[in-house]
Amino acid sequence: MSGEPDGDVLRRFARGDERAFEQLFRQFEVEVYGWILRIVRDRSGAEDVLVEAFWRAFRGRAQFDPARSFGAWMRRIATNAALDHLRALKRTRAWPSTVDALAAPAGPDRDTNEAIALAFRRLPADLQIVAALALLEEQPYADIADALGVPEGTVKSRVFRATRMLREELARLGVRP
Amino acid sequence: MQHDDEHLREFLKAALPSMRSERPSRDVWPLIAARTSARPSWSLADWSAAAVVAGALLLFPKWFWFLAYHL
Protein backbone atom coordinates (compact mmCIF):
# COMPACT_ATOMS: atom_id res chain seq x y z
CA MET A 1 0.00 0.00 0.00
CA SER A 2 1.24 3.56 -0.74
CA GLY A 3 2.71 5.47 2.17
CA GLU A 4 0.16 7.48 4.11
CA PRO A 5 -0.19 11.06 2.89
CA ASP A 6 0.67 14.10 4.92
CA GLY A 7 -1.87 14.86 7.66
CA ASP A 8 -2.33 18.38 6.32
CA VAL A 9 -3.32 17.03 2.89
CA LEU A 10 -5.84 14.69 4.52
CA ARG A 11 -7.36 17.48 6.62
CA ARG A 12 -7.62 19.74 3.56
CA PHE A 13 -9.25 16.91 1.62
CA ALA A 14 -11.79 16.36 4.39
CA ARG A 15 -12.64 20.09 4.19
CA GLY A 16 -13.24 19.79 0.42
CA ASP A 17 -9.97 21.19 -0.99
CA GLU A 18 -9.84 19.93 -4.59
CA ARG A 19 -6.06 20.33 -4.87
CA ALA A 20 -5.57 18.06 -1.89
CA PHE A 21 -8.02 15.64 -3.47
CA GLU A 22 -6.04 15.59 -6.73
CA GLN A 23 -2.83 15.03 -4.78
CA LEU A 24 -4.43 12.01 -3.09
CA PHE A 25 -5.76 10.75 -6.41
CA ARG A 26 -2.32 10.95 -8.01
CA GLN A 27 -0.77 9.12 -5.07
CA PHE A 28 -3.34 6.32 -4.91
CA GLU A 29 -4.74 5.91 -8.44
CA VAL A 30 -2.44 3.05 -9.50
CA GLU A 31 -2.95 1.12 -6.28
CA VAL A 32 -6.71 1.59 -6.29
CA TYR A 33 -6.95 0.80 -10.01
CA GLY A 34 -4.95 -2.39 -9.48
CA TRP A 35 -7.29 -3.47 -6.69
CA ILE A 36 -10.39 -2.77 -8.79
CA LEU A 37 -8.88 -4.56 -11.78
CA ARG A 38 -8.36 -7.69 -9.68
CA ILE A 39 -12.07 -7.65 -8.86
CA VAL A 40 -13.72 -6.67 -12.15
CA ARG A 41 -11.03 -8.23 -14.40
CA ASP A 42 -11.75 -5.82 -17.26
CA ARG A 43 -9.52 -2.79 -17.91
CA SER A 44 -12.15 -0.49 -19.34
CA GLY A 45 -14.67 -1.35 -16.63
CA ALA A 46 -11.97 -0.88 -13.98
CA GLU A 47 -11.35 2.68 -15.21
CA ASP A 48 -15.05 3.49 -14.90
CA VAL A 49 -15.09 2.07 -11.38
CA LEU A 50 -11.94 4.06 -10.53
CA VAL A 51 -13.73 7.30 -11.46
CA GLU A 52 -16.81 6.28 -9.49
CA ALA A 53 -14.75 5.28 -6.45
CA PHE A 54 -12.86 8.59 -6.23
CA TRP A 55 -16.07 10.50 -6.85
CA ARG A 56 -17.70 8.62 -3.95
CA ALA A 57 -14.67 9.37 -1.80
CA PHE A 58 -15.01 13.08 -2.52
CA ARG A 59 -18.72 13.02 -1.80
CA GLY A 60 -18.11 11.15 1.45
CA ARG A 61 -15.08 13.21 2.51
CA ALA A 62 -16.89 14.55 5.60
CA GLN A 63 -17.02 10.97 6.96
CA PHE A 64 -13.27 10.47 6.54
CA ASP A 65 -11.26 10.66 9.74
CA PRO A 66 -7.83 12.15 8.86
CA ALA A 67 -6.31 10.20 11.77
CA ARG A 68 -7.06 6.91 9.96
CA SER A 69 -5.56 5.27 6.87
CA PHE A 70 -6.65 6.92 3.63
CA GLY A 71 -5.49 3.89 1.63
CA ALA A 72 -7.66 1.47 3.61
CA TRP A 73 -10.66 3.83 3.47
CA MET A 74 -10.23 4.27 -0.28
CA ARG A 75 -9.88 0.53 -0.83
CA ARG A 76 -13.17 -0.10 0.95
CA ILE A 77 -14.94 2.51 -1.19
CA ALA A 78 -13.38 1.03 -4.34
CA THR A 79 -14.52 -2.47 -3.33
CA ASN A 80 -18.10 -1.28 -2.86
CA ALA A 81 -18.01 0.55 -6.20
CA ALA A 82 -16.67 -2.61 -7.87
CA LEU A 83 -19.40 -4.68 -6.23
CA ASP A 84 -22.06 -2.30 -7.58
CA HIS A 85 -20.42 -2.52 -11.01
CA LEU A 86 -20.59 -6.33 -10.97
CA ARG A 87 -24.22 -6.24 -9.83
CA ALA A 88 -25.08 -3.82 -12.65
CA LEU A 89 -23.39 -6.12 -15.16
CA LYS A 90 -25.43 -9.05 -13.87
CA ARG A 91 -28.64 -7.01 -14.19
CA THR A 92 -27.92 -5.82 -17.73
CA ARG A 93 -25.88 -8.86 -18.80
CA ALA A 94 -23.59 -6.37 -20.55
CA TRP A 95 -20.51 -8.46 -19.97
CA PRO A 96 -17.29 -7.70 -21.78
CA SER A 97 -16.28 -10.33 -24.31
CA THR A 98 -15.45 -13.41 -22.31
CA VAL A 99 -12.01 -14.55 -23.22
CA ASP A 100 -10.47 -11.15 -23.92
CA ALA A 101 -11.60 -9.60 -20.70
CA LEU A 102 -11.92 -12.37 -18.18
CA ALA A 103 -9.65 -15.14 -19.26
CA ALA A 104 -6.31 -15.41 -20.90
CA PRO A 105 -5.12 -17.69 -23.67
CA ALA A 106 -3.29 -19.84 -21.16
CA GLY A 107 -5.08 -22.87 -19.72
CA PRO A 108 -6.51 -26.11 -21.01
CA ASP A 109 -8.22 -24.76 -24.16
CA ARG A 110 -10.39 -21.95 -25.33
CA ASP A 111 -13.77 -23.69 -24.80
CA THR A 112 -12.79 -24.73 -21.32
CA ASN A 113 -11.60 -21.22 -20.55
CA GLU A 114 -14.92 -19.84 -21.78
CA ALA A 115 -16.81 -22.28 -19.56
CA ILE A 116 -14.70 -21.41 -16.53
CA ALA A 117 -15.17 -17.68 -17.14
CA LEU A 118 -18.91 -18.25 -17.52
CA ALA A 119 -19.11 -20.25 -14.29
CA PHE A 120 -17.21 -17.46 -12.57
CA ARG A 121 -19.57 -14.78 -13.87
CA ARG A 122 -22.60 -16.76 -12.75
CA LEU A 123 -21.54 -16.48 -9.13
CA PRO A 124 -23.48 -13.89 -7.10
CA ALA A 125 -21.50 -10.62 -7.02
CA ASP A 126 -20.54 -10.92 -3.34
CA LEU A 127 -19.15 -14.41 -3.94
CA GLN A 128 -17.50 -13.42 -7.22
CA ILE A 129 -15.51 -10.74 -5.41
CA VAL A 130 -14.12 -13.06 -2.76
CA ALA A 131 -13.49 -15.79 -5.33
CA ALA A 132 -11.52 -13.39 -7.54
CA LEU A 133 -9.50 -11.98 -4.68
CA ALA A 134 -8.93 -15.17 -2.70
CA LEU A 135 -8.78 -17.92 -5.35
CA LEU A 136 -7.30 -16.11 -8.35
CA GLU A 137 -5.34 -13.25 -6.80
CA GLU A 138 -4.35 -15.02 -3.57
CA GLN A 139 -4.99 -11.96 -1.44
CA PRO A 140 -4.90 -12.56 2.32
CA TYR A 141 -8.33 -13.13 3.89
CA ALA A 142 -7.67 -10.33 6.37
CA ASP A 143 -7.18 -7.81 3.52
CA ILE A 144 -10.33 -8.99 1.77
CA ALA A 145 -12.31 -8.79 5.01
CA ASP A 146 -11.03 -5.26 5.63
CA ALA A 147 -11.90 -4.15 2.10
CA LEU A 148 -15.41 -5.59 2.34
CA GLY A 149 -15.98 -4.45 5.91
CA VAL A 150 -16.90 -7.96 7.06
CA PRO A 151 -15.31 -10.38 9.55
CA GLU A 152 -12.62 -12.75 8.27
CA GLY A 153 -14.90 -15.71 9.04
CA THR A 154 -17.45 -14.32 6.58
CA VAL A 155 -14.78 -14.22 3.86
CA LYS A 156 -13.86 -17.84 4.60
CA SER A 157 -17.47 -18.98 4.39
CA ARG A 158 -17.99 -17.03 1.15
CA VAL A 159 -14.89 -18.65 -0.37
CA PHE A 160 -16.27 -22.02 0.66
CA ARG A 161 -19.67 -21.28 -0.92
CA ALA A 162 -18.07 -19.86 -4.07
CA THR A 163 -15.88 -22.96 -4.45
CA ARG A 164 -18.89 -25.23 -4.08
CA MET A 165 -20.96 -23.21 -6.57
CA LEU A 166 -18.10 -23.10 -9.08
CA ARG A 167 -17.69 -26.85 -8.83
CA GLU A 168 -21.43 -27.38 -9.43
CA GLU A 169 -21.56 -24.88 -12.31
CA LEU A 170 -18.52 -26.40 -13.99
CA ALA A 171 -20.10 -29.84 -13.71
CA ARG A 172 -23.27 -28.47 -15.33
CA LEU A 173 -21.16 -27.02 -18.15
CA GLY A 174 -19.45 -30.36 -18.61
CA VAL A 175 -16.05 -29.21 -17.38
CA ARG A 176 -14.17 -31.50 -15.04
CA PRO A 177 -11.36 -29.85 -13.06
CA MET B 1 -11.49 -32.38 0.13
CA GLN B 2 -8.69 -29.88 0.76
CA HIS B 3 -6.70 -31.52 -2.05
CA ASP B 4 -9.76 -31.18 -4.33
CA ASP B 5 -10.07 -27.48 -3.46
CA GLU B 6 -6.40 -26.92 -4.18
CA HIS B 7 -6.78 -28.70 -7.50
CA LEU B 8 -9.80 -26.55 -8.41
CA ARG B 9 -7.88 -23.42 -7.44
CA GLU B 10 -4.99 -24.32 -9.72
CA PHE B 11 -7.42 -25.18 -12.49
CA LEU B 12 -9.15 -21.78 -12.19
CA LYS B 13 -5.86 -19.92 -12.03
CA ALA B 14 -4.69 -21.60 -15.23
CA ALA B 15 -7.75 -20.31 -17.07
CA LEU B 16 -8.10 -16.96 -15.29
CA PRO B 17 -4.60 -15.84 -14.35
CA SER B 18 -3.88 -13.05 -11.92
CA MET B 19 -4.39 -9.57 -13.40
CA ARG B 20 -1.13 -7.71 -13.83
CA SER B 21 -1.08 -4.45 -11.94
CA GLU B 22 -0.65 -1.50 -14.23
CA ARG B 23 -1.65 2.12 -14.71
CA PRO B 24 -5.02 3.05 -16.21
CA SER B 25 -4.78 3.46 -20.00
CA ARG B 26 -5.77 7.14 -19.76
CA ASP B 27 -5.75 9.96 -17.27
CA VAL B 28 -9.19 9.79 -15.64
CA TRP B 29 -8.64 12.78 -13.35
CA PRO B 30 -10.48 15.20 -15.72
CA LEU B 31 -13.58 12.99 -15.44
CA ILE B 32 -13.42 13.08 -11.65
CA ALA B 33 -12.69 16.81 -11.57
CA ALA B 34 -15.65 17.48 -13.86
CA ARG B 35 -17.91 15.68 -11.40
CA THR B 36 -16.54 17.40 -8.31
CA SER B 37 -16.83 20.88 -9.81
CA ALA B 38 -20.31 20.30 -11.30
CA ARG B 39 -22.94 22.18 -9.37
CA PRO B 40 -25.49 19.82 -7.90
CA SER B 41 -28.46 19.82 -10.24
CA TRP B 42 -32.05 19.80 -9.06
CA SER B 43 -33.85 16.51 -9.38
CA LEU B 44 -37.47 16.13 -10.45
CA ALA B 45 -38.40 15.68 -6.78
CA ASP B 46 -36.67 18.99 -5.89
CA TRP B 47 -38.55 20.83 -8.63
CA SER B 48 -41.84 19.24 -7.56
CA ALA B 49 -41.36 20.25 -3.93
CA ALA B 50 -40.47 23.82 -4.96
CA ALA B 51 -43.56 24.00 -7.18
CA VAL B 52 -45.82 22.76 -4.38
CA VAL B 53 -44.40 25.33 -1.93
CA ALA B 54 -44.69 28.17 -4.47
CA GLY B 55 -48.26 27.16 -5.33
CA ALA B 56 -49.23 26.93 -1.67
CA LEU B 57 -47.83 30.41 -1.02
CA LEU B 58 -49.73 31.88 -3.96
CA LEU B 59 -53.00 30.35 -2.79
CA PHE B 60 -52.46 30.85 0.92
CA PRO B 61 -50.04 33.75 1.52
CA LYS B 62 -50.62 33.50 5.26
CA TRP B 63 -48.81 30.15 5.23
CA PHE B 64 -45.53 31.98 4.62
CA TRP B 65 -44.55 32.18 8.30
CA PHE B 66 -45.67 28.62 8.92
CA LEU B 67 -43.51 27.35 6.03
CA ALA B 68 -40.62 29.66 6.94
CA TYR B 69 -40.62 28.16 10.41
CA HIS B 70 -40.71 24.54 9.24
CA LEU B 71 -38.42 24.63 6.19
Contact call for residues A105 and B14 (beta carbons, < 8 A):
no
Domain containing B69: what range?
A: 47-71
Of the candidates A51, A112, A137, the beta carbon closest to that of B32 is on A51
Q: Distance of CA A173 to CAs A19, A166, B23, B46, Å?
A: 51, 10, 35, 50
Residues of B in contact with A54 (CB under 8 A): 32
ipTM above 0.90, yes or no: no
Q: Is the pLDDT of residue A99 over 50?
A: no
For residue A17, give the CATH number of its domain. 1.10.1740.10
- Total number of domains constituting chain B: 1
Q: How confident is the model at residue A94 (pLDDT cuts 50, 70, 90)?
A: low
Interface with chain A: mutation pick from B12, B26, B31, highest number of A CBs within 10 Å: B12
As a whole number, mean pLDDT of residues A1-12 equals 82
Q: Single out the residue in A57, A74, A94 at which a domain terminates.
A: A94
Name the residue in chain B with its Cα closest to that of A109: B15
Residues of B engaging A, defined by a Cβ cutoff of 8 Å: 5, 7-9, 11-19, 21-26, 28-29, 31-33, 35-37
Q: Is the pLDDT of residue B35 over 70?
A: yes
The string of pLDDT tens digits covering residues B1-34 is: 567 778 888 888 888 888 877 889 999 999 999 9
More confident residue, B41 or B19: B19
Give pLDDT, residue A97.
54
Name the residue in chain A with its Cα closest to that of B31: A51
Report yes or no on B52 lying in a domain: yes
Contact call for residues A48 and B26 (beta carbons, < 8 A):
no
Domain containing A77: what range?
A: 1-94
Mean pLDDT across chain A: 88
Nearest to A147 by CA among A98, A91, A76: A76
Q: Single out the residue in A48, A79, A94 at which a domain terminates.
A: A94
Q: Does A72 lie in the same domain as A31?
A: yes
- Total number of domains constituting chain A: 2
Q: Does A24 lie in the same domain as A101?
A: no
Q: Is the pLDDT of residue A108 over 70?
A: no
Q: Does A125 lie in the same domain as A169?
A: yes
Q: Does A71 lie in the same domain as A28?
A: yes
Q: Is the pLDDT of residue B70 over 50?
A: yes
Contact call for residues A117 and A103 (beta carbons, < 8 A):
yes
The string of pLDDT tens digits covering residues A16-60 is: 999 999 999 999 999 999 999 999 999 999 999 999 999 999 999
CA distance B54 to B61: 10
Q: Does A49 lie in the same domain as A109?
A: no
The structure's pTM equals 0.79
Report yes or no on B64 lying in a domain: yes
Nearest to A143 by CA among A96, A93, A50, A76: A76
State percent of chain A over pLDDT 70: 90
Contact call for residues A77 and A28 (beta carbons, < 8 A):
no
Q: Does A79 lie in the same domain as A21?
A: yes
For residue A146, give the CATH number of its domain. 1.10.10.10
Give pLDDT, residue A78.
97
As a whole number, mean pLDDT of residues A133-157 equals 95
Q: Is the pLDDT of residue A122 over 50?
A: yes
How many degrees, rounded to 5, is the angle at CA A30 between CA A138 and CA A103? 45
Give pLDDT, residue B57.
86
Q: Is the pLDDT of residue B56 over 60?
A: yes
The alpha-carbon radius of gyration of chain A (Å, integer) is 18
Nearest to A10 by CA among A73, A77, A66: A66
Contact call for residues A174 and A115 (beta carbons, < 8 A):
yes
DSSP state of A132: I
Q: Single out the residue in A94, A114, A136 at which a domain terminates.
A: A94
